[in-house]
Amino acid sequence: MASKDESQNAERISEAEHAVMEVLWHESPLSAADVCDVVCKERGWSIPTVKTLLSRLVSKGALSTEPDGRRFLYSPLIERSAYVGTESKRLVERLFGGRAAPLFAHLAQTEALSADDIAEIERLLKEMKK
């Protein structure tokens, strides 16, 4: 029966919603106004927009609310790493048949990898071997 797991239930988070999540992953809990302070300018949004996104995220089970006087404070319910994981996986799945190496190869070929990236990856590889 439990084909849908509430906690893990990855109700797809849209791009605009994701921008809001980033703010809250960076710092939480925050009020709608706080979130707006961080993103509204940057994305050209108005407060109502932020509120809509927050509500949608709450319905999607991605955020929790806690009352603070007459307003709400929002906090992430899903972890950033979980989100990042699903999204990365989706991409790798969709574009590279689930294999990560081709993605890497692609990034390498298109020079999307900086020297720093490469050094870092080598370090990680070494790390993994231990």
Partner DNA sequence: TACTTTCGATTACATCTGTAATCTGAATGA
Partner DNA sequence: TCATTCAGATTACAGATGTAATCGAAAGTA
Q: Which stretch binds its own copies (CB under 8 A): 3-11, 40-48, 50-58, 104-112?
A: 104-112
Among 14, 43, 48, 112, binds its own copies (CB under 8 A): 112
Interface pattern 22-61 for its own copies (x via CB under 8 A):
----------------------------------------
**Do you know the residue count of the chain?**
130
Taking the least distance from each CB to DNA, the nearer of 66 and 127 is 66
Taking the least distance from each CB to DNA, the nearer of 46 and 114 is 46
Binding-site residue total for its own copies (CB under 8 A)? 35
By CB under 7 A, name the binding residues for DNA: 12, 14-17, 31-33, 43-46, 48-49, 51-53, 55, 69-72
Residue-wise burial string across 31-69, b where 16 or more C-beta atoms lie within 10 A, e elsewhere = ebebbbebbeeeeebeeebbeebbebbeebebbebeeee
Rounded Cα distance between 45 and 75, Å, is 20
